[in-house]
Amino acid sequence: MLDFVLAVVAMALVFQYINGFHDTANSIATVVATKVLTPLQAVGLAAVTNLVGALWGTAVAKTIASGLLDTHVVTVTAPLLLCALIGAVVWNLITWAMGLPSSSSHGLIGGLCGAAVASAHGNWSAILWSQPAHPWFKGTGLYWKVILPMVTSPIAGFVGAFVILGLLYAIIVAISRAGGPFSHLARPRWVTAFFNKAQLASAGFMGFAHGSNDAQKTMGIIALALVSAAKAGQLDGLPHWLGFLHPSAAALDHDEIDLWIKLSGAAVMAAGTAAGGWKIIKTMGHKMVKLQPIDGFAAETAAATVITVASAWGLPVSTTHNISGAIMGVGTAKNPRAVKWGVVERIIWAWILTLPAAGGVAWLLVRVFEKLGWS
């Protein structure tokens, strides 16, 4: 069983690497599309800010590790987690090949749920569906932690970006009409120059937000695998050079995430970011709507704010969904006809299919593992 635990850690890092060139591409798409940064510069900024964000809090990791499955119904084993990760990776690669910005987060959650139901022999009670609490954001289960944020967060990104861009336009018009010594600041050349610089801050904020949410999901899976294996005695007698795999006392007793898990997840995500993602950047930054620096600033600020608040509440939201919603918001604020709604429809279908598709692959893999005697 130790081999499976090691396989889970390795596959989790593979997933994080793919997340880097899949989801991080979404987080830097706007700053590349507006030509404020070159792709290489954007990747460097994202890598650094992802690392900082990944080390900021562990609320999302704890949700993934303990807030979605009922351990009284299904035993969380390394083979189950391995099937969940492979399901997410397969769907990520399919959507990446198609240039579709689907959600790695929901791919992972879908894989986890599909593998759990299969391991519980079709018992859907293996999934924690809904456990309300007060205030509402402290509720646990799939509905409160995944489904509700999946719908509301991109809407919040859309509305936030729409409002921010509208306010910026209103300020520019007011400066122009007021005349006086500052009226030149409303000229297109000055506006573009200002937001070229301002977008560096908003892009950094977006990278931080992405790291604070997406990097933590892989941390949660690795922590869940190691804590489960340790409590089952499967890590007893580890070789000295693998001693770091054994969870600390804090991790075993209080769901804390060990530092090496945080650092490795953030580093692998940064490496994945450097590896690619340009197909998705093209879809996000060019195919939906043509972006200017002021648009990129509004979209990034709105999406990053939503993601950062969700991270603080332990909600595993999708960077993809939020930045997509925000880009739609700025496009609608400029001119609804400028948004290519056919592209938007393809993206939304990818969102809808992600949970069941990744879950279906994971479900089939559990069945294959059972046939091979690996469960």
Cβ atoms of residues 258 and 222 within 8 Å: no
Tokens for 214? 């997406």
CA distance 29 to 286: 9
User: How many other CB atoms sit within 10 Å of the CB of residue 373?
Assistant: 6
Question: What pLDDT is stored for residue 141 in this prediction?
Answer: 86
CA distance 196 to 201: 10
Cβ atoms of residues 50 and 207 within 8 Å: yes
Question: What pLDDT is stored for residue 284 in this prediction?
Answer: 55
Shortest CA distance to 115 belongs to which of 132, 90, 98?
Answer: 90
Q: What is the pLDDT along the chain (375 residues), one digit of tens a residue?
A: 678 899 999 999 999 888 877 766 666 777 877 788 887 788 788 878 887 888 887 888 888 877 788 888 988 889 999 999 999 999 888 887 777 767 888 899 999 999 999 999 999 999 999 888 777 667 778 888 888 888 899 999 999 999 999 999 999 999 888 877 777 778 888 998 999 899 999 989 988 998 888 878 888 889 888 988 898 888 887 888 888 888 988 888 877 888 898 888 878 887 877 776 555 665 555 556 678 889 989 999 999 999 999 998 888 888 878 888 998 899 899 888 877 777 778 778 877 888 999 999 999 999 999 999 887
User: How many other CB atoms sit within 10 Å of the CB of residue 97?
Assistant: 9
103: left (phi over 0), alpha (psi -120 to 50) or beta: beta
User: Cα 218 vs. chain centroid, distance in angstroms?
Assistant: 10
User: Cα 90 vs. chain centroid, distance in angstroms?
Assistant: 16
Q: Enumerate the domain spans of the chain.
A: 2-371
Paired with 291 in beta bridges are none
Please provide the distance, in angstroms rounded to a whole number, between the alpha carbons at the two ends of the chain.
10
Cβ contacts of residue 112 below 8 Å, gap of 6+?
Answer: 64, 68, 69, 81, 84, 221, 362
User: Cα 158 vs. chain centroid, distance in angstroms?
Assistant: 17
The torsion angles phi and psi of 140, rounded to 5 degrees, stand at: -120, 170
DSSP H helices in the chain:
2-33, 39-54, 59-66, 78-97, 104-119, 142, 148-178, 188-231, 249-254, 259-275, 278-282, 293-312, 319-334, 341-371
In single-letter form, the type of residue at position 26 comes to N
